[in-house]
Chain A
């Protein structure tokens, strides 16, 4: 089954019809959850990345900052996934030809991969190598901001 056919069957499912049948404020509420999730992900990334770059909370150990904020990232990703599916399902076929939609998920894959490998390793270490820390900070900021940017672009193309 091609991607478009899969998306068609997703969009014509009973669950999709159920969502489409909701009030338009339901759509606005889902968008609100999506931006709350995004802020919960981006804020810790900004805080920890600035620290990794040596231009943020210099007096706090990197590992302590990462530990204290990691739950926010996972809660945020959970909210993004649920609200994202509710945005996607009733309009699935609209997204199939959208380049930014596909790019967003490639970028998201890269951001998550960096997060569970390099970011995790660097932020678990008490004294990470300064250069590795800087590269991780830049990579993490760039990738997560690119995901957000690509997401913002989807609706305009």
Chain B
């Protein structure tokens, strides 16, 4: 089965149709996608800015990373679940858009960046946190995260504007 056939199947599914045709369900899911974004990207942004030395430069990175981690992971969960629902409701249209694949590509790169950061630096934060200047790789990870997630948001917001042409 091709991707296009699969997307048509999702589009025609009960869940896809119900979501698309409901007066309230679709905008509620859109709203939740946005709230998830405020918790996920919104909180991650402050950690990235801290890694770059642009936010609370005197606060230990650990003091931001540890308390915010559960909130931003919960935010990402909400964003991803609602994102899948929004995709299902319009799957056969979205699957034809280049911008959708760019978005997925940027999500994959941002995810890899986050995973590598977490494995190499996040877990051993206490070891490098006290240094005067943060390791270059840490700063780079912060910059890459900000840039990639911004591109995810930009390409995501463009989806409806490019699909109704």
In this complex, how many residues of chain A approach chain B with their Cβ under 8 Å: the count is: 33
Among the stretches B24-32, B88-96, B133-141, the one at the interface with A is B24-32
Asked if B42 and A42 make an inter-chain contact with CB atoms under 8 angstroms apart, the answer reads: yes
In chain B, what residue has the closest Cβ to A59?
Answer: B63
Asked if A32 and B38 make an inter-chain contact with CB atoms under 8 angstroms apart, the answer reads: no
B72 shortest CB reach to chain A, Å? 10
- CA distance in complex: A56, B67 (Å): 6
Asked if A57 and B67 make an inter-chain contact with CB atoms under 8 angstroms apart, the answer reads: yes
Asked if B71 and A27 make an inter-chain contact with CB atoms under 8 angstroms apart, the answer reads: no
Q: A28-B162, A35-B153, A60-B63 are in contact. List 15 more A-B contacts (CB 8 A).
A: A24-B165, A28-B157, A31-B157, A36-B153, A39-B38, A43-B41, A46-B39, A47-B43, A56-B71, A59-B59, A60-B59, A148-B35, A149-B34, A153-B27, A156-B27
- CA distance in complex: A58, B27 (Å): 34
Q: A56-B67, A68-B55, A68-B56 are in contact. Are A39 and B27 (CB under 8 A)?
A: no
Asked if B68 CB lies within 8 Å of chain A CBs, one says yes
How many A-B residue pairs have C-beta atoms within 8 angstroms? Tell me.
81
- Taking a contact as CB atoms closer than 8 A, the residue among B26, B27, B161 that contacts A28 in the complex is B161
Q: What chain B residues lie within 8 Å of A139 (beta carbons)?
A: none
Report 14 cross-chain contacts, Cβ distance below 8 Å, ordered by A residue: A27-B161, A31-B161, A32-B158, A39-B41, A39-B45, A43-B46, A56-B68, A59-B59, A59-B63, A60-B59, A69-B46, A152-B34, A156-B23, A156-B27
**What is the predominant secondary structure among interface residues of chain B facing chain A?**
helix
- CA distance in complex: A152, B36 (Å): 14
Contacting A at CB under 8 A, from B93-148, are none
Asked if B42 and A47 make an inter-chain contact with CB atoms under 8 angstroms apart, the answer reads: yes
- CA distance in complex: A46, B42 (Å): 8
Asked if A43 and B157 make an inter-chain contact with CB atoms under 8 angstroms apart, the answer reads: no
Asked if B85 CB lies within 8 Å of chain A CBs, one says no
Asked if B9 CB lies within 8 Å of chain A CBs, one says no
Asked if A47 and B46 make an inter-chain contact with CB atoms under 8 angstroms apart, the answer reads: yes
Asked if B63 and A39 make an inter-chain contact with CB atoms under 8 angstroms apart, the answer reads: no
B105 shortest CB reach to chain A, Å? 19
Q: What chain A residues lie within 8 Å of B43 (beta carbons)?
A: 43, 46-47
- CA distance in complex: A135, B37 (Å): 23
Asked if B80 CB lies within 8 Å of chain A CBs, one says no
- Taking a contact as CB atoms closer than 8 A, the residue among A39, A43, A45, A64 that contacts B56 in the complex is A64
Asked if A10 CB lies within 8 Å of chain B CBs, one says no
Asked if A50 CB lies within 8 Å of chain B CBs, one says yes
Asked if B161 and A39 make an inter-chain contact with CB atoms under 8 angstroms apart, the answer reads: no
Q: What chain B residues lie within 8 Å of A28 (beta carbons)?
A: 157-158, 161-162
Asked if A145 CB lies within 8 Å of chain B CBs, one says yes
